[in-house]
A = this chain, B = another copy of it.
């Protein structure tokens, strides 16, 4: 499946022509590490970038754009370390940079020099192609910009690099002055560029507009064209597909759609549509079947919460809620899913909710490893308990772990009892003046098989203090809980028209080194609801670490 990358050893392949079999292959070019890193709040270390590059190569992209050596010191270091440390199997590394400055010789331009020094086999040059940007931002003449493109491409091609030209603001430029935009593309191809990528830099295009422009450019040039889309109109994926439909054979995107403003085209979504729906094989490597895992692993590195509704790989992407359909889904999953989630390494999930019936409880049970087929009486009991609990404010569609504990409770009391709570208390005190004017403290009294434990904890707030006290009370008996970390805490007021008397629902997400799980607690008292979710989280975690009550 290495057909998506340029043949190895061919540093700057000739522009594709219609006669060669490779001409119809769609190259996949990832720019997570460069354009994706423009995303608000993202700050990647060199080690982060190296780790992401390994995952991208595993996914099987053809190109990995690593950054802008020379302009950003961290990126210079990335290329230096990548050359030594990375052993890429599918992808070629690309260094991003600009054409030489107005009036400059590329051979003497420090920024161009840094691209060469990066030793990346591929160089991607951003070039202006909108005449307004040439005149107003670059402040040079249209002719000089063409000279800069041609000279810089020629210089790098002469040094054995594969050169990709990213024609910045191409679509806006073309719609304003098509002739000049086309001259930029031709200047790049004539100087030996392997690919010219048409960029919707401001992200405002719509698919029909993209198809029209690409079609015209395709008719007026002969080289390989690429597409670089942003999502400002909510059409980045569709614009990429429209471009491929009109003849583009190189698509750029970022994992999880990271990027400035509304982000770049989501690479996995683009690839999944191309491979699974349009029958184009574009990835080498592990391919789409590992896409969910790789997408989530990259989220862990960027520390940006995954978006549950993300197409194909999102946690909710194949989660069905409607009870109406649950029984039919069981019979014919294909009628209710656009693809088999296995194709992208995701799972179908049934959400247990107030609309749930027995069928969805049965399916959910199967997902958790319990075969409840034919156990009508048990299913009826569990379904009723779920309905009662949801009427009281619980929600299990976001708290699988709590649902599993409930289910085990009903299946012959298979829920282990790790500890028994005697009492707990927490207090918060505020005294202005002094270092930290507000103080939270909690104490817990409980029993395990090893005896009675009393522990005191403290924290930023009452729940934090209670969590601390619970851990201190349990860790002597169950040292496993040291691995458990609270990773998310959500509070929802359910009946929000009764002020602080309202019913409160707390959802807690806990993680250990291998998994994460969610639990729910409900009550008129936020502390009590939190306590319920906290203790359920400990129980589920111990259970799934194979721990027996001690």
A338 touches B263 (CB 8 A): no
Interface mask (A482-494 → B, CB under 8 Å = 1, otherwise 0): 0001111111111
Decide if A141 is an interface residue (CB 8 Å cutoff): no
Chain A interface size, under 10 / 10 to 19 / 20 to 34 / 35 or more: 35 or more
Q: How far is the CA of A41 from the CA of B309 in the complex (A)?
A: 12
Which chain B residue shows the least CB distance to A169?
A: B335
Decide if A450 is an interface residue (CB 8 Å cutoff): no
Query: A305 and B497 in contact (CB under 8 A), knowing A321-B40, A526-B463?
Result: yes
Decide if A351 is an interface residue (CB 8 Å cutoff): yes
The smallest C-beta distance from A470 to any residue of chain B, in angstroms, reads 11
Q: How far is the CA of A493 from the CA of B504 in the complex (A)?
A: 14
Q: Which of B234, B305, B339 lies in contact with A237, CB distance below 8 A?
A: B234
Which chain B residue shows the least CB distance to A336?
A: B202
Decide if A373 is an interface residue (CB 8 Å cutoff): no
Q: Which of B132, B235, B428, B491 lies in contact with A528, CB distance below 8 A?
A: B428
B491 touches A500 (CB 8 A): no
Decide if A17 is an interface residue (CB 8 Å cutoff): no
Query: A428 and B496 in contact (CB under 8 A), knowing A41-B395, A311-B262, A319-B40?
Result: no
The smallest C-beta distance from A510 to any residue of chain B, in angstroms, reads 8
B38 touches A231 (CB 8 A): no
Which chain B residue shows the least CB distance to A485?
A: B499
- List residues of A (136-183) whose CB comes within 8 Å of B's CBs: 136-137, 169, 172
Q: Which of B38, B335, B395 lies in contact with A137, CB distance below 8 A?
A: B335
Decide if A57 is an interface residue (CB 8 Å cutoff): no
Decide if A398 is an interface residue (CB 8 Å cutoff): yes
B495 touches A489 (CB 8 A): no
Q: Which of B45, B172, B261, B432 lies in contact with A320, CB distance below 8 A?
A: B261
Q: Which of B43, B429, B530 lies in contact with A494, CB distance below 8 A?
A: B43
Q: How far is the CA of A307 from the CA of B304 in the complex (A)?
A: 12
B395 touches A462 (CB 8 A): no
Closest 9 CB pairs of A and B: A204-B338, A486-B499, A238-B238, A427-B427, A461-B525, A460-B524, A464-B500, A234-B237, A234-B269
The smallest C-beta distance from A394 to any residue of chain B, in angstroms, reads 10
Decide if A431 is an interface residue (CB 8 Å cutoff): yes
A208 touches B245 (CB 8 A): yes
Decide if A403 is an interface residue (CB 8 Å cutoff): no
Chain copies in complex: 2
Decide if A207 is an interface residue (CB 8 Å cutoff): yes
Q: How far is the CA of A498 from the CA of B262 in the complex (A)?
A: 25
Decide if A241 is an interface residue (CB 8 Å cutoff): yes
Q: How far is the CA of A241 from the CA of B351 in the complex (A)?
A: 31
- List residues of A (491-520) whose CB comes within 8 Å of B's CBs: 491-502, 504, 507-508
Can you show 11 pairs from A to B with CB atoms below 8 A apart?
A202-B337, A203-B338, A232-B311, A234-B237, A234-B273, A238-B239, A261-B309, A303-B492, A467-B500, A487-B497, A488-B493
Decide if A544 is an interface residue (CB 8 Å cutoff): no
Residues of B within 8 A of A273 (CB): 206, 233-235
Q: Which of B260, B429, B499 lies in contact with A489, CB distance below 8 A?
A: B499
Residues of B within 8 A of A501 (CB): 459-460, 464, 486
Stretch among A7-15, A78-86, A325-333 lining the B interface: A325-333
Decide if A310 is an interface residue (CB 8 Å cutoff): yes
A499 touches B525 (CB 8 A): no
Residues of B within 8 A of A309 (CB): 39, 231, 257, 259, 261-263
Residues of B within 8 A of A499 (CB): 464, 467, 485-489, 508
A260 touches B320 (CB 8 A): yes
Residues of B within 8 A of A498 (CB): 487
B429 touches A496 (CB 8 A): no
The smallest C-beta distance from A454 to any residue of chain B, in angstroms, reads 14
Q: How far is the CA of A351 from the CA of B488 in the complex (A)?
A: 29
Q: How far is the CA of A421 from the CA of B464 in the complex (A)?
A: 25
Q: A237-B238, A425-B427 are in contact. List 20 more A-B contacts (CB 8 A).
A: A38-B321, A40-B397, A43-B492, A204-B277, A207-B207, A261-B317, A262-B310, A303-B497, A424-B429, A425-B429, A438-B528, A459-B501, A460-B500, A461-B504, A461-B528, A462-B526, A488-B493, A488-B499, A489-B496, A491-B526
Decide if A378 is an interface residue (CB 8 Å cutoff): no
B40 touches A277 (CB 8 A): no
Q: How far is the CA of A425 from the CA of B355 in the complex (A)?
A: 42
Interface mask (A202-222 → B, CB under 8 Å = 1, otherwise 0): 111011100000000000000
Q: How far is the CA of A336 from the CA of B133 in the complex (A)?
A: 10
B339 touches A204 (CB 8 A): yes
Residues of B within 8 A of A308 (CB): 40
Q: How far is the CA of A311 from the CA of B266 in the complex (A)?
A: 14
Decide if A63 is an interface residue (CB 8 Å cutoff): no
Query: A307 and B305 in contact (CB under 8 A), knowing A496-B45, A496-B48?
Result: no
A202 touches B338 (CB 8 A): yes
Decide if A29 is an interface residue (CB 8 Å cutoff): no
Q: How far is the CA of A207 from the CA of B244 in the complex (A)?
A: 13
Decide if A423 is an interface residue (CB 8 Å cutoff): yes
